[in-house]
Every structure is written in structure tokens, then in C-alpha cells.
Structure 1
Amino acid sequence: MVLVSLTVLYVSLRLTAADPPSELKHGGCIKVNECKCLMRDGSGLIDLGSVADEDGFIQRLKPLPSAPQTPDVLLSFSPCLAFSEPERFGGTDCTGVAVCVSRRIHQDNGFVTQYFNYGKHNGNKFSFTDSEKTLSVSYSMFPDSEPQTVVHYRCSPNRSVTSSVSLSERALLQMWVESPCACPNACALVDVGPGTILLIILCISVTAYFIIGSCALRPFRTSNGVQMAPEDSVWCKICCQLTVRRKQNCSL
């Protein structure tokens, strides 16, 4: 009886080890921060900063294609950079946001611009669909509130951005972004660390050493012919010229 129980326990443990939990087996995405997502299957890291342009925006004051009858509706979205609109004047709803929609309303002889906050980076949520290879990121006004914007990033060799929203009901804003940089470990941003900076400084110093030294060569005649050698005090003279402000004799 004991032998049968041990056999059943052994088989159960083998089945459990061979059949991991569904969230691990089907992969998915682990949120690293508001801008990065690590794939569970080990395929790499998705960095949303690489999808944006050099200024950090995917859309910057672009007209909403879903509202052709209202051309004065503009959309701005940055996946990693918290921005404010307008830039020079604060106090609007779009202060430190990820998504902002501005709408210009004509009144009398002028116009008034309204700014709508459609989500911030703080508390954004990541969801990855393995079948479609799509990463969906939702943005809310507050960490525990309903999402105002959902951006779908799809790994694709093409580059395109489309959006859809109904401003009359302040409905959910959805964006679809296709980019090769939305693939894991693609278009990774190069991080210049302190080691790289020190290496660059060292290379510049060595280059300057040889250039200045070669310019200070002094020819002299020996029994073997004319030879060239650097001045003994050339580096002292250079330091003297750089440090002495008044006219002094720098000869040693």
C-alpha cells in the first residue's frame, strides 16, 4: 500500500513539473517600468522608448484621423516622456501626462483651446497577446481609475500609427502602432555608461599627447646623421602657458 502511494505521488510530481502554470507556459510580458516590458519566454526586452522619435514622441500635435470634421483636434503621445501642454504655460489638465488631446474652439473673433488629459505614465498596465504579437499598454488619469487610452504596439516590419476616439462622449482613445522596434530586443537604445566616457577621454588624451609631442620635435645632428627628439621641457612650457596669466618667462 505504501509502495502504491509513493508511486502515485511520484507520477503526480512528474506531471506537475512537465505542465507548468499557464501564465508561464503561454508567455506574456513582465512590466519592468513605465516604458519597458520583459518577455516571459526569454525572447528579450521591449523598450517603448525606441519606438518614439528623437524627441520622445510617437504623435506630436497631430490631427486625429478619426475626427475629419473637426480638424482643430490634435493628439500628442509620448510612451516614456511626461510632458505638458502648452509647454510654456502650466495649469492645464495636460500637465505631466503621457497622452493629451487639445481642441480649438472658435469664439467670436478668436478661439479658445481646451486640453484633455487622456492618461499618465504612473500606473500604466501592460498586456501581451502571444497570438498577435501585440503589446497593449493602458494609461489612466489616476493609478486605480479606468483607462483613458490604450495603445497597441505590434511587432511589424512596417511603420504606421492610427488612432480612434469619440470626443463627444469622452470615450476610450485607442492607438495602433506598428514598428520593427516593437519587437523584443529590437532598436535597443545605446546607453553610454561611465566606462565608455572614460575610454573616450583616454583616447582623446593619448591622441593629443602624440600630436602635440610630434609638433615639438627638435632636429639635431649626430654622428649617425640628423635625428629628431622632443624638447625636454615642452610639456612644462605648455602647462606654464596655460596657467600663467601674466607675462612671465616660462623658460626652464
Structure 2
Amino acid sequence: MTDLGLPDTILACLFDLDGVVTRTAVVHAAAWKETFDAFLRERDGADFRPFDDGDYGRYVDGRPRADGVRTFLASRGIELPEGAPGDPPHAPTVHGLGNRKNELLLEKIRTGGVEAYDGTLRYIERVRARGLRTAIVSSSANCRDVLRSIGAEDLFDVRIDGVVAAERGLPGKPRPDTFLAAARELGVEPARAAVFEDALSGMDAGRAGRFGYVVGVDRAGRREELYAHGADIVVTDLAELGVPGTEA
């Protein structure tokens, strides 16, 4: 399947949303930074150390919201009560911080809108034209609304997002469970499916699930890290796949 840049054994493609299909990863990062910096500034005072891009890539990117809160806070030696999913955004709990981030994210999306990566949409159309099945796999609970906002909901046969994962009790990335669920719904073995991800946790999930091909999408200058975490190929845009002269 050289025109798609995939092995001939691949029958299905599983795409992450933020940073692969849409330009929302930067919006997520900004919302996380605003959330954590406010929390850390109030907690640490003069010893305040801001949340940065490295923190986002290592501890938060691609993970379910509450997992991102836990993982980042653990990196700073901080423990908070879990609270409950319905905690208000000002609550000093894991879920409260996560809900504050989501409130900021939705505000930024409302004011700035959502933009898709045209290269990705064209690639998905090529994939579907060749008869491969497609799924969107995202930790975001806002996945369906985002897809609808860019008119891309019909490009995917299956959607496994934060809402579906919560309903089914599926752990998020770096565990492979959400990708495995998408492959099952598409009726293909993991070895016959390709994963498309920009997050290091997504690379880990692709490797852990033993998927047939893992494509790293480098939107943030993390090429070597994406390879180290399990990518078979790294591109800056999916439009490069299947184009002569691009390298694995």
C-alpha cells in the first residue's frame, strides 16, 4: 500500500484527535498551563515553578483528564484528594482541577474555534477510498462535538472517546485499551491496524497493543522521542505518507 505509506497487511486506521486531526493540542496545552500555573502559584508562592511544554509532553498529553492531573502532580510530589467527577472547577481535588482545565478549554474553543489539519483530512479520504476502515480514538470527552464542528464525523466508522471509555471502564493511554476497543469494533486484529498519534503516551499505547504500524505525527519537535516511544515512522503531516522521498 505504498500510495498510503502503510504495509500491505493494514486493514484499518486508528486516528487520535488532538494534534493529528485537529489543531487543538496547542489549545489543550494552553488550558493545562493556565490551570496548573494558577494552582501552583497559589500553593508554592515564591517557590512557584511554572508548568511547561516538557511537562505537557511527558505527563499530560494524550492521557484522560484526571490521569493527566494525577501524573503531573505526582511529578512535583503533590497529592490531592480525588474528589468526584462533578466537582466544581474551584475544588482543590483531582477532578476539580481537571474540570477547571476543561472549562478553560471549552472557552478557548468557543472564542477561537477549531481548525482541522487539511493534510490529515485528505489522507483519511484516501484511506477510505482504498477500502480501509477508520476510527477516531481520543481521551477527550468533547471529541464528538469537535468532529461535528469541522464536518468530519462521517469520516470515521467507529468513535472511542472519553465518554465511551468512561462508560466501558477503559483505561486511557498509555494503556492500549481504547485503541484495542476500536480495532475490535472495526473487526480487525491489532496486527492489521495502524495507529496515528502525536502524543508520547499514544506511541506507548500503540507499542503495548502490538499494532501493525504506528505513525508518529511530530507537531512539536519531538521526533526522536516519538521514535523512542515506539513509532515505526515519524512525519510532520500525514500528507507526507506515500509521497516519494519521505523517510521512515
TM range (shorter): under 0.3
Select the structure of larger CA radius of gyration.
Answer: 1
**Under a length normalisation based on structure 1, what TM-score does the superposition of the two structures give?**
0.24
**Under a length normalisation based on structure 2, what TM-score does the superposition of the two structures give?**
0.24
Q: Which has the higher strand share?
A: 1
Greater length-normalized contact order (CA 8 Å, ≥ 6 residues apart)? 2
